[in-house]
Amino acid sequence: MTLQKGYEQMVCEKKNKLRAQVLSAFPIPPDFLKKVHSQLEKNVGKKIELQFCQDPSLIEGVVVQLGIFGTFDFSYKSQLQKLKTSLQQKG
């Protein structure tokens, strides 16, 4: 972690905020992002600064990076990688 990111995280913690990033292969409709945003705040109990990024390499699905809570990967890319690893171990 860089010094700047560490400082930003510390400031967010003082303000009871958390940064989250939603990655998707395709644009996500704003109303859906609002639902994700409110659900994250409800589940975590903090104000969320939500950022959306498009990443075509994900193929399909979404990845949610939620600060100290970790990364939740629901993308086809990760599913295919798990399948590939599983097949390599068996073969």
pTM for the full model? Answer: 0.78
Average pLDDT over all residues of the chain: 89
Per-residue model confidence (pLDDT) at position 69: 87
Rounded to whole angstroms, the Cα distance separating 72 from 63 reads 6
pLDDT tens by residue, 53-82: 999 999 999 999 998 889 999 999 999 999
pLDDT tens by residue, 4-51: 777 777 777 778 888 899 999 999 999 999 999 999 999 999 999 999
For 89, the token pair is: 């171990």
Domains of the chain by residue range: 3-90
DSSP code string of 18-84: EEEEEEESS---HHHHHHHHHHHHHHHTSEEEEEEEE-GGG-SSEEEE-GGG-EEE--HHHHHHHHH
| 9 close to 69: Cβ distance less than 8 angstroms | no
Per-residue model confidence (pLDDT) at position 51: 94
Rounded to whole angstroms, the Cα distance separating 10 from 2 reads 12
